Amino acid sequence: MKMKAQEEDMVNSPPHYNKAGIECIDAIAAATEEGYEYYLQGNIIKYLWRYRYKNGTEDLKKAQWYLNKLIEEVEGCYDKS
């Protein structure tokens, strides 16, 4: 059953990024390995750069989503003791 547009979560789980049960973000992480951190940084910058001109608050939420992923990825790695 297809979700109605207003029910789709275009920030946390856009349906076009999940095909055959594989999330695109997981495939990117597997394919880029150490480059995954830089991929996340690039997307944060992209969404912060364009939010005023394209999707407003939705783009800010997407930037936040990628920032949360980046924090999960690097937590503890660069912290000074």
Q: Is residue 8 part of a domain?
A: no
Per the domain annotation, does 21 fall within a domain?
no
pLDDT digits (tens, 9 = 90+) for 19-59: 788 899 999 999 999 899 999 999 999 999 999 999 999 99
Residue bearing the bigger pLDDT, 22 or 66: 66
Looking at the structure of the chain, the number of domains it has is 1
Mean pLDDT, range 72-81, rounded to an integer: 89
Could you give the C-alpha distances from 13 to 10, 25, 41, in angstroms and in order? Answer: 6, 10, 19
The reply to whether 64 falls in a domain is yes
As a whole number of angstroms, the distance between CA 24 and CA 77 comes to 24
Owning domain of residue 66? 34-74
Give domain status of residue 16, yes or no. no
pTM of the entire predicted model: 0.81
